Amino acid sequence: MKSDVFNKPARLKNPPNLGDYDEVCRSFDWRSVRKELDWFDGTKINAAYNAIDRHTQTWRKNKVALYWEDEAGSTRQYTFEQLSLLSNKMGNILKDFGVSRGERVFIFLPRVPELYISFLGALKIGAIAGTLFSAFQEQALADRLGNSDAEVVITNKELKERIDKVRKKLPALKHIITVDSEDFIKSFEHVSDELHIAHMDPDEYAFMLYTSGTTGKPKGVVHVHRAILQEHMTAKWVLDLRDDDTYWCTADPGWVTGIAYEILGSWSCGVAAVVYAGRFDPKRWYEILAKYKVSVWYTAPTAIRMLMAAGSNLVHEYDLSSLRHMCSVGEPLNPEAITWAIKTFDKPFHDTWWQTETGAICIANYPAMDIKIGSMGKPVPGITAAIVDDQGHKVPDGNEGNIALKPKWPSMMHTIWRRPHKYESYFTGGWYISGDRGMRDKDGYFWFIGRADDVIKTAGERVGPFEVESALVSHPAVVEAGVIGKPDAMRGEIIKAFVVLDKKYLRKRFRESVGFPESDKKALREELSQYVKKHLAGHAYPREVEFIDKLPKTRSGKIMRRILKAKEMGLPIGDTSTLEEY
């Protein structure tokens, strides 16, 4: 593939942590980096201890670990020692509630400090922590808490109302901890800040995250304590974190990026992290970058495109000279975004590729390597990546195929919660098949082509069409729905729903036989869109709804989303031999 190249600076002022990519790759062995972490008796480990507590034994004890700011401008800050003691307290609270090793503690909070403290506290007692994005509504919560059989949910007064509404569907849920209730505040004040940290087998479960595929409800991807090894090394090599950095990862811990690079890998590098708890706003984002003198910034293409759209005049109002290194994840990073960054910040964004299932960055661009603009870079040292066909055979360089990784890497998921067959289905011919299509060029750079399945990526967030379709058909006006990702210049994709309406319902409600007036149609489209927003999730609703008489289906009744997509984009619809008459 032809592309522009951003040549690495001839001499970087501060030599990067990963100085010579090829050299490190040649001799690399994961065992050689075990010493980067603290182990108990050489064999046991705790990821949260490595992220926070071990630093309290060093000069970092009083170093600020977290600079927190919300939308209104309130601020709080915590040292490593404070986070250590507060998460000890949370661990003790959970123990008092009877939580033991292996039990599921789900956290349903916006990005308040209590979220981070709860996550760490759960890991420190050996519980399995789960995070729930605060935009989730009843259906999304019921699916995730139900499948995981979560024993405890940690939330706040406002979000608790949503849990209350589905509680009767959750027989395993024993306790709801409300962090802004008087009861909790009082007991938190009195509980001990001394905690015995669970010494975990490296393969014991640490956290789980629900993510979407094409079919079925979201699946619980389970990660183990050992994953910290790769989260730490990639934070060091790819994000290039150093002790004098102020680091801002803009992701929410409801997603894997916020866990691996806002809590575990980044803090295990001892870095001071900024958390901004507000919504996206270009002005506020530049203010945060300038105010905290952010030096390393990890964000996502949609945000970058929105900053581009906000114009250069705005960015030039701020002194952003502290920025040293910038990375991006979650969706294709278009060349224009990199070119804009070079013009605006005098440095490029470094694309990184990985997934909820891979647990940490697996393919990346590094500060000491030339960037082929538009490429995702090269495999992390210790990771073997390849492009393979559907049988798991490598395809020649320059050809399209499945992006695949050689198991096992340290942060690879360990299972899909209670769905072992689903887990097995990821592996073919000795390779983990990612579900992404891509290409490797003759120089070993990997290029992203697209998803092999119907998974939607909207503003970097992964949404399964089935979840949205299920939410739509629970509305009385809807008989059937087919949902696709429609390419969008800003958000990568937006969710578009094709809906077959119930004629009887329409007659009753609109007193129309066939074809009701455009004004009613418009209102119903908006109603359906809002309905999904309210019942499923604030981010996973269709921005476009189109009424259609019939959905394209296979003879066995499966909705052919690829045909909906091809039609939407005016592309040839391809092989229709398995299609029911349409």
What residues line the site for ligand PRX (CB under 6 A)? 211, 255-257, 329-333, 351-356, 376, 434-436, 448, 451, 457, 462
In the bound complex, which residue of the shown chain has the CB atom lying closest to ligand PRX? 356
Listed in order, strand segments (DSSP E) in 92-148 are 104-107, 128-131
CB of 178 or CB of 352, closer to ligand PRX: 352
CB of 8 or CB of 451, closer to ligand PRX: 451
Residue 269 one-letter amino acid: C
Shortest distance in whole angstroms from residue 141 CB to ligand PRX: 18
Shortest distance in whole angstroms from residue 387 CB to ligand PRX: 14
Shortest distance in whole angstroms from residue 363 CB to ligand PRX: 8
Shortest distance in whole angstroms from residue 191 CB to ligand PRX: 35
Q: What is the CA radius of gyration of the chain?
A: 24
Spatial CB neighbours of 409, under 8 Å, sequence gap ≥ 6: 30, 230, 358, 360, 362, 382, 383
CB of 77 or CB of 415, closer to ligand PRX: 415
CB of 353 or CB of 498, closer to ligand PRX: 353
CB atoms within 10 A of CB 202: 18
Shortest distance in whole angstroms from residue 255 CB to ligand PRX: 6
CB of 88 or CB of 458, closer to ligand PRX: 458
State how far the Cα of 213 lies from the Cα of 423, in Å rounded to an integer.
12
CB of 139 or CB of 234, closer to ligand PRX: 234
Residue 308 one-letter amino acid: M
CB of 268 or CB of 402, closer to ligand PRX: 402
Shortest distance in whole angstroms from residue 358 CB to ligand PRX: 8
State how far the Cα of 52 lies from the Cα of 31, in Å rounded to an integer.
22
Shortest distance in whole angstroms from residue 329 CB to ligand PRX: 5
State how far the Cα of 284 lies from the Cα of 299, in Å rounded to an integer.
15
Shortest distance in whole angstroms from residue 257 CB to ligand PRX: 5
Q: Which residues are bridge partners to 496 per DSSP?
A: 484, 544
State how far the Cα of 448 lies from the Cα of 437, in Å rounded to an integer.
6
Q: Alpha-carbon torsion 311, 316, 318, 324, what sign?
A: positive
CB of 19 or CB of 407, closer to ligand PRX: 407
Shortest distance in whole angstroms from residue 580 CB to ligand PRX: 29
Structure tokens at 147: 């499948």
Q: Which of 372, 406, 376 is nearest to 388 (CA)?
A: 406
The secondary structure of residue 463, as a DSSP letter, is E
CB of 151 or CB of 357, closer to ligand PRX: 357
Shortest distance in whole angstroms from residue 260 CB to ligand PRX: 8
CB atoms within 10 A of CB 26: 9
CB of 123 or CB of 360, closer to ligand PRX: 360
With 0-12 CB in 10 A as exposed, 13-18 as middle and 19+ as buried, what is 546? middle
State how far the Cα of 322 lies from the Cα of 248, in Å rounded to an integer.
12
- C-alpha dist (Å) from residue 389 to 215, 293, 319, 362, 396: 22, 46, 48, 20, 10
Which residue, chain included where needed, has tokens 């009861």? 183
> With contact defined as beta carbons under 8 Å apart, do 393 and 431 qualify?
no
